[in-house]
């Protein structure tokens, strides 16, 4: 790991690179889909990626915006697209106008206000769809989907020659499937699980869990718009995910401590599925 490279985590065809620690920094890229989620700081691993999705405007998720714009401009990269909750667009434009005044330079960039439940294009075969989250400021989560073609069930037992003949007759043999590969919550209370149905079916769910022990109660976590591990555990069996990756864990806990708590609290049949995103302490 280096500051420029980020930490790396992968499961099958989902590869993630970045950092996350509550209140300090969250920025995680999915390089194969050309997208970064949140930019707490401008860091080199984000640089060749043209799509940046902001979950909300808190500084530990969004203060890297002017830096990323400046760096991409300096390197002559195409203007980046920043997707964000609609309420954030105007204040972000004002912030950029001030940075442009400070730097005496005009930048090219695009800020797009997203609506929960809508789909937006990424590099083929990927796209993303937004889902509602619940935080102290306007917020949204993002799911990366992969589009695939798949032989319809009724033709699965036919021979190759029969399929060729049907295709020759102009029969549509395949259907399009949209697989939710990875959902990313940003900061949120547990209610994000009650919104969009595809989130629970994502192959990988990357969710914030800020607090993991009794030093903070579920009520404390909820008051600050966050998720406590104790609130997630009873919901695990409602998930169809292959992996649940915990991010945004408070810096009050060392990685060793978090792993001990997970070992103690996570039900046996979820132990190999619940992981934490690599972290420095
Ligand atoms: Zn945060
Ligand atoms: Zn926040």
Distance (angstroms) between ligand 2 centre and the Cα of 185 equals: 11
Instruction: Classify residue 145 by its DSSP letter.
Output: E
Q: What are phi and psi of 166, to 5 degrees?
A: -65, -40
Closest listed ligand to the CA of 22? 1
Distance (angstroms) between ligand 2 centre and the Cα of 2 equals: 25
Distance (angstroms) between ligand 2 centre and the Cα of 249 equals: 12
Separation between Cα atoms, residue 186 and residue 169, nearest integer Å = 49
Is the bond preceding residue 125 a cis peptide, omega within 30 degrees? yes
Whether 82 contacts 92, CB under 8 Å: yes
How much is the pLDDT for 150? 87
Distance (angstroms) between ligand 1 centre and the Cα of 188 equals: 9
Kindly give the confidence (pLDDT) of every residue in the chain, 281 residues in length, as a single tens digit, with 9 standing for 90 and above: 456 678 999 999 999 999 999 989 999 999 999 999 999 998 888 888 999 999 999 999 999 999 999 999 999 888 899 999 999 999 999 999 999 999 999 999 999 999 889 999 999 999 999 999 999 999 999 999 999 988 999 998 999 999 999 999 999 999 999 999 999 999 999 999 999 999 999 999 999 999 999 999 999 999 999 999 999 999 999 999 999 999 999 999 999 999 999 999 999 999 999 999 998 77
Distance (angstroms) between ligand 2 centre and the Cα of 251 equals: 15
Distance (angstroms) between ligand 1 centre and the Cα of 127 equals: 25
The second-level CATH assignment, the architecture, of 7-276 is 4-Layer Sandwich (3.60)
Separation between Cα atoms, residue 153 and residue 243, nearest integer Å = 28
Beta bridge partners of 247: 208
Comparing C-alpha atoms, which of 25, 23, 22 is closest to residue 3?
25
Distance (angstroms) between ligand 1 centre and the Cα of 70 equals: 23
Model-level pTM? 0.94
- Is the alpha carbon torsion for 144, 147, 150, 153 positive or negative? positive
Distance (angstroms) between ligand 2 centre and the Cα of 56 equals: 7
Separation between Cα atoms, residue 227 and residue 148, nearest integer Å = 33
Distance (angstroms) between ligand 1 centre and the Cα of 250 equals: 9
Distance (angstroms) between ligand 2 centre and the Cα of 187 equals: 5
Distance (angstroms) between ligand 1 centre and the Cα of 274 equals: 20
Distance (angstroms) between ligand 1 centre and the Cα of 224 equals: 10
Distance (angstroms) between ligand 2 centre and the Cα of 41 equals: 15
Distance (angstroms) between ligand 1 centre and the Cα of 40 equals: 9
Comparing C-alpha atoms, which of 215, 202, 199, 200 is closest to residue 249?
215
Q: How many CA atoms lie within 13 A of 261 on its CB side?
A: 19
Distance (angstroms) between ligand 2 centre and the Cα of 84 equals: 14
How much is the pLDDT for 79? 86
Residue whose structure tokens are 């009050």: 252
Distance (angstroms) between ligand 1 centre and the Cα of 67 equals: 19
Whether 65 contacts 39, CB under 8 Å: yes
Instruction: Classify residue 228 by its DSSP letter.
Output: B
Separation between Cα atoms, residue 53 and residue 69, nearest integer Å = 14
Separation between Cα atoms, residue 19 and residue 3, nearest integer Å = 9
Distance (angstroms) between ligand 2 centre and the Cα of 136 equals: 7
Q: Which two tokens stand for residue 88?
A: 């954030």
Distance (angstroms) between ligand 1 centre and the Cα of 150 equals: 39
Interstrand relation of 126-132 and 140-151 (parallel, antiparallel or unpaired): antiparallel
Q: Burial of 241 by CB count in 10 Å (0-12 exposed, 13-18 middle, 19+ buried)? A: buried
């Amino acid at each position: 790991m280096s500051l420029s490279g980020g930490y790396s985590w992968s499961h099958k065809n989902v590869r993630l690179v970045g950092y996350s620690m509550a209140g300090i920094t969250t920025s995680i890229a999915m390089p194969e889909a050309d997208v970064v989620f949140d930019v707490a700081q401008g860091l080199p691993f984000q640089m060749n990626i043209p799509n940046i999705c902001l979950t909300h405007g808190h500084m530990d998720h969004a203060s890297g915006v002017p830096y990323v714009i400046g760096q991409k401009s300096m390197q002559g990269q195409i203007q980046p697209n920043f997707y964000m909750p609609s309420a954030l667009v105007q204040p972000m434009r004002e912030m950029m106008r001030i940075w442009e005044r400070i730097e005496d330079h005009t930048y090219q960039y695009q800020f797009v206000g997203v609506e929960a439940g809508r789909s937006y294009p990424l590099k083929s075969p990927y796209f993303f769809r937004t889902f509602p989250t619940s935080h102290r400021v306007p917020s949204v989560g993002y799911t990366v989907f992969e589009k695939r073609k798949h032989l319809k069930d009724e033709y699965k037992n036919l021979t190759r020659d029969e399929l060729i003949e049907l295709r020759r007759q102009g029969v549509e043999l395949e259907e399009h499937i949209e697989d939710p590969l990875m959902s990313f919550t940003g900061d949120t209370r547990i209610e994000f699980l009650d919104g969009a149905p595809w989130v629970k079916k994502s192959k990988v769910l990357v969710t914030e869990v800020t607090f993991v022990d009794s030093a903070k109660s579920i009520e404390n976590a909820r008051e600050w718009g966050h998720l406590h591990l104790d609130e997630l555990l009873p919901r695990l069996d409602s998930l169809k995910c292959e992996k649940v990756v915990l991010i945004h864990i408070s810096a009050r806990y060392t990685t060793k401590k978090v792993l001990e708590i997970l070992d103690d609290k996570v039900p046996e049949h979820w132990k190999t599925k619940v992981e934490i995103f690599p972290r420095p302490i």
